[in-house]
Chain A
Amino acid sequence: DVKVTQSSRYLVKRTGEKVFLECVQDMDHENMFWYRQDPGLGLRLIYFSYDVKMKEKGDIPEGYSVSREKKERFSLILESASTNQTSMYLCASSFSGPGSPLHFGNGTRLTVT
């Protein structure tokens, strides 16, 4: 079974703090993704990476950056957390073959106060 592991289930941070969300997958997937999920808005893509050190912006990249130094690890960074970044953050991975499904981690519930 594919395993996508997010380092924290719950996180509480203060406004202005720098926040790191870590994600590791064990299936040698080429692609990795960060989404946020909010009630009524569904899943929105923040960033994705199709190879080590490669990244592309998704639909809502403002206020976020990412890092992929190793194939299995993809980090999401909130440079200066704000209250509107309170959300559920989901990491996913997939093979690069056409039509491959996403496999998700269990999410990190981030609260910024």
Chain B
Amino acid sequence: EDQVTQSPEALRLQEGESSSLNCSYTVSGLRGLFWYRQDPGKGPEFLFTLYSAGEEKEKERLKATLTKKESFLHITAPKPEDSATYLCAVLSTSGTYKYIFGTGTRLKVLA
């Protein structure tokens, strides 16, 4: 069964304290792995798509990486405005439209 697990559930960082969020996945075949940012009361905002192991994408203080079993979202020198819930999702080859979401990591960056 296709599955996505995110860890930790919650993370508190001091401003400038770099860290990583983890997304472990089990799929029969990977069409794509997606990272989203979600602010309270709003819809998820698309950040990155990764398609194959070894791929990396960057945007400002965020960098996403992918292996055959997991993805990491690295946050370098975070700022308070990076506080949000970060969601990971995968699209497997077993279902054209079946996106499987993790339950997210709630990130709080303290000034």
Which positions in A face B, CB cutoff 8 Å?
A: 4, 6, 31, 33, 40-43, 45, 48, 50, 56, 90, 92, 98-107, 109
Contacts and interface: CB of A to CB of B under 8 A. Distances in A.
B46 A99 contact: no
B56 to A, nearest CB: 16
A103 B47 CA distance: 10
Interface string B31-60: 110101000011111100101000000000
Interface stretch (B18-26, B65-73, B74-82, B94-102): B94-102
B42 A101 contact: no
B89 interface: yes
A73 B101 CA distance: 24
B7 interface: no
Contacts of B104: 42
A90 B89 CA distance: 15
